[in-house]
Structure 1
Amino acid sequence: MPDIHEDNISFSVLIPDGESSFVLSVLQCLGKVKNVKIYVLSNEPWGRIRFSRYINHFFSYPKEEGDERRLVAINDIVKKKKIDIILPVEQQAIRLFSRNSETLSKLTSIVHLPKTEAFDIARNKWWLAEWLKKNHIPSPPTVLYQSNVKFEETLSTLSFPVLLKPIFGSGGNGIKYFENASALNRYCKERPYSNKFIVQSYINGYDISCSLLCRNGQILAHTIQKRVTDEALNFRPTTDIDFYYDSCTYNVVKEVVDKLNWDGIVNFDLRYDEQDKQVKVIEMNPRYWGSLLGSLSAGVNFPYLACLSGLSHDFPEMSANPIRFVHGKTTIRHLVRGFFHKNKSTQYYDKSNLEYSFRDPFPAVIAIYLYVYKQIKKKIAAVPKTFHA
């Protein structure tokens, strides 16, 4: 990361949704910087995040009391700890703060967030597909699933194979692949909840991801990354990624954030279409993302830059260094394979998230303990009870 005079900048930040699965990565990004005090509020009083070495103080509130109680707790913490800026991580909290930004900004600074209308377009796959089509931005043909006769006529406008996707969702969950219309219709008729799905033509090509920090539709920082090996029909988040620069990808996402006048962070899922040689927008994720530590390793600390921008500090546009980043299990697999394979071209990597886990080990240890405890508890509950007269 270029010199932003980190030693001269100090601030306190409150993360108001410590229960998010992405919070640990955000903490580990902020923990890389001196003079940043980190406070966390969560509705999980004994969640693994509580044990991170980077937290100055951990607060919790009862989950059942909802967002109203969260806002009360935030108000108290900001006043008590003199918080300089608030950094929401997950979609629910980001939308909550976007909707209440006028009131909350009177308490303290908040990182830049998208307007609620733009946010809702980004997270709703059907609304996004319609918006992309209206604005002539490259994207796959998409229709909304409807359980009526007209749907078959609408479906004829798509080329097969297709993907059935939940309108809301992430991480590849719930995505199904179909070679023909009869298989799709048969699957949907057996599931009455399919009305909450879109159908999208499958693109032959490879996945690309682009992460951004924006202000008033202008890109302040970005990273572009793709899978090391693209696996057909693998819709799960990748564990091996190459960071690189691609002008076609950059120009496509630049047009989207400009027309949405986007504020804050966002992660794009895109796909390169080998048939028409275009990069096409697939989804937008208006929250932090799973490869965040990869972005950090490539030289772009998104949470820190989001705080700087929210506190009106200027910095030059940031982009990634070309590196290969892998996640923990994959790191171990590469090391093992390296002993047995002569061709190491796909075995090497520059950075891994293991180094961050080693520096902040307790959240991972607690997560393993809780998993084992739940599994044992489940097995005990499954044992038939015997009764004696």
Structure 2
Amino acid sequence: MNEAFVFNVFFNGLGVIRALGENGVPVRALDSSKKPVGKYSKYTKAFNVVTNPALNAEQFVKELIEIGKELNEKPVLFPTNDVWSIAVSKYKQQLEKYFLTYNPDYSVIKKIIDKRLFYNIMEKENILVPQTYGIKRFDDLEKIKKELIYPLILKPTARMEINRKSCDTRIYNLNRIIEIKNFEDFFKYKDLIKNYEFIIQQKIEGLSNNMYTVGIYADKKSKVRAAFCGRKVRGYPVEYGDCIAGESYWVDELVEQSKKLVKILGYTGIAEIEYKYNQVDGKYYLIEMNPRTWSWIGITPKAGVNLPLIAYKDARGEEIPEYIEMDKSKKVLWTRSIDDRFNCKRHHKNVDEEDFLKSEKEWKESLKNYDYIVYADLDPEDMAPGIFWKKSKKVHLIKNFPKLLYRKLAKK
């Protein structure tokens, strides 16, 4: 039976490992870290440390091929973040000799990771996106000064590319989203804008609980064969943060628009398309597309549409449904429960939104609203990753306690 190679196995990859492993698929986890959470899943049958393609994609591909050569049947590749997905698409021709992959060609990925190009395509297709201003030099700001309506968002033009220097990666991660409240704010980031490509974009009002996800699997003809739709219930940080709790939540217009988008781009494989509901005008805006699995894909099996398993079967040439949607009759919650409970106790006190619970008691009570809970960390059937994560957070807290105490005292 073909192995599934899941690489970068944080909670995203762990969700894929479980979605496949629970259905008898042999899973190999790969990561540049020696101790990622996915390594400890009972469904992980083998684990390899490989080079991070963000630093050296050619070396990563070489190592991947060396592992693949040893196997009798071609493994199916499951990249779970941008740089790994970019590497698979960029070196697809070499990899296909030893692996099965649903990833699109690099020419397709390029249209997605270059935000300026992506938004231009979407605007031409009359898909609603935030008002976007492209600048090539800092001096260009003066030319568009009168057009700008605040608040605005400043963010890098391109996602993390492969073969990026580690210092560039740090700068990217620290400046993924910068809020600009007036023209003078741009001057705080003058050096950053001069040295890196950024776009300026309309800020869509609302916290992270206004973010919606459409998860799809598209076949080789860019036809969507499976669809999930959900809402981010709580992110951290609360405004723009990663999903800490998400729920199944179907929005017809978003799913239909996502199918159109996939066809326009010629996309194949698993993807996440993100939208944000604007509390000011009551419209959904397309924010971005992630050409890979996403952080809470682990919700999809319990929602009745196991995207990783469907992708695996299609890659192997097995029959899959012509089209399947999630089970809309069930309400499913996905939660990183350790972090979610902690945030509810510590970080939501001043957040005036119902979703951002204020205590562990409220958190436990909220679980009664769902038919099924997917615990991303402390899964009752696969506890080891959650136990490891809990211990690692305690170690991190102990190591950083002096710094945290100093910051707290400094504020006083």
Q: Output the TM-score relative to the length of structure 1.
A: 0.80
Report the equivalent of 1:188. 189
Q: How big is each residue's C-alpha offset from its partner over 1:299-337, in whole Å with a ceiling of 9 and x where there is no partner?
A: 222211111111122322222223141411446857943
Once structures 1 and 2 are overlaid, which stretch shifts more, 214-223 or 265-274? Answer: 265-274
Q: How much has 1:236 moved relative to structure 2?
A: 0.9
From 155, 168, 176, the equivalent of 1:165 is 155
1:1-389 matches, within 5 Å, as 11-15=2-6, 17-18=7-8, 22-34=12-24, 36-61=25-50, 66-87=56-77, 88-110=79-101, 112-168=102-158, 174-180=176-182, 182-189=183-190, 191-192=192-193, 195-204=196-205, 206-215=210-219, 216-228=221-233, 234-273=239-278, 278-316=283-321, 317-322=323-328, 323-327=331-335, 328-329=337-338, 330=340, 336-338=360-362, 348-354=369-375, 357-373=379-395, 376=398
Q: Percent identity?
A: 19
Once structures 1 and 2 are overlaid, which stretch shifts more, 258-267 or 358-367? Answer: 358-367
Partners of 1:166 and 1:198 within 8 A in 2? yes
Q: In 1, distance between residues paired with 2:44 and 2:180?
A: 46
Partners of 2:132 and 2:200 within 8 A in 1? yes
Q: In 1, distance between residues paired with 2:139 and 2:403?
A: 47
Distance 1:78 1:276, change over 3 A: same
Q: In 2, distance between residues paired with 1:146 and 1:218?
A: 36
Q: In 2, distance between residues paired with 1:163 and 1:24?
A: 32
Q: In 2, distance between residues paired with 1:339 and 1:246?
A: 25
Q: How big is each residue's C-alpha offset from its partner over 1:144-189, in whole Å with a ceiling of 9 and x where there is no partner?
A: 2444433232243343222222334599963233333x24323333
Q: In 1, distance between residues paired with 2:175 and 2:370?
A: 27
Q: In 1, distance between residues paired with 2:191 and 2:84?
A: 35
Distance 1:377 1:244, change over 3 A: closer
Corresponding letter in the other structure for 1:102? Q
Q: How much has 1:230 moved relative to structure 2?
A: 9.7
Q: How big is each residue's C-alpha offset from its partner over 1:277-309, in whole Å with a ceiling of 9 and x where there is no partner?
A: 543211111122112122222122221111111
Q: How much has 1:114 moved relative to structure 2?
A: 1.7
Corresponding letter in the other structure for 1:302? L
Q: In 2, distance between residues paired with 1:58 and 1:234?
A: 35
The Cα RMSD (Å) is 3.5
Question: Secondary structure at 2:270's aligned position in 1?
Answer: strand
Corresponding letter in the other structure for 1:319? E
Question: Secondary structure at 1:359's aligned position in 2?
Answer: coil
Question: Secondary structure at 2:369's aligned position in 1?
Answer: coil
Unaligned runs of 5+ in 1: 1-9, 383-389
Report the equivalent of 1:387. none
Distance 1:371 1:203, change over 3 A: closer
Q: How much has 1:107 moved relative to structure 2?
A: 1.9
Q: In 2, distance between residues paired with 1:63 and 1:230?
A: 26
Question: Secondary structure at 1:267's aligned position in 2?
Answer: strand
Q: How much has 1:135 moved relative to structure 2?
A: 2.7
Unaligned runs of 5+ in 2: 161-172, 345-356, 405-412
Distance 1:365 1:240, change over 3 A: closer
Question: Secondary structure at 1:360's aligned position in 2?
Answer: coil
Q: In 2, distance between residues paired with 1:275 and 1:346?
A: 30
Report the equivalent of 1:6. none
Question: Secondary structure at 1:81's aligned position in 2?
Answer: coil
Q: How much has 1:204 moved relative to structure 2?
A: 4.1
Question: Secondary structure at 1:22's aligned position in 2?
Answer: helix
Partners of 1:143 and 1:155 within 8 A in 2? no
Count the aligned residue pairs: 366
Question: Secondary structure at 1:281's aligned position in 2?
Answer: strand
Question: Secondary structure at 1:297's aligned position in 2?
Answer: coil
Q: In 2, distance between residues paired with 1:172 and 1:247?
A: 35
Q: How much has 1:268 moved relative to structure 2?
A: 1.2
Q: How much has 1:372 moved relative to structure 2?
A: 4.1
Q: In 2, distance between residues paired with 1:201 and 1:229?
A: 22
Q: In 2, distance between residues paired with 1:132 and 1:362?
A: 43
Partners of 1:23 and 1:49 within 8 A in 2? yes
Once structures 1 and 2 are overlaid, which stretch shifts more, 161-170 or 345-354? Answer: 345-354
Q: In 2, distance between residues paired with 1:18 and 1:148?
A: 36
Q: In 2, distance between residues paired with 1:68 and 1:186?
A: 38
Distance 1:155 1:270, change over 3 A: farther
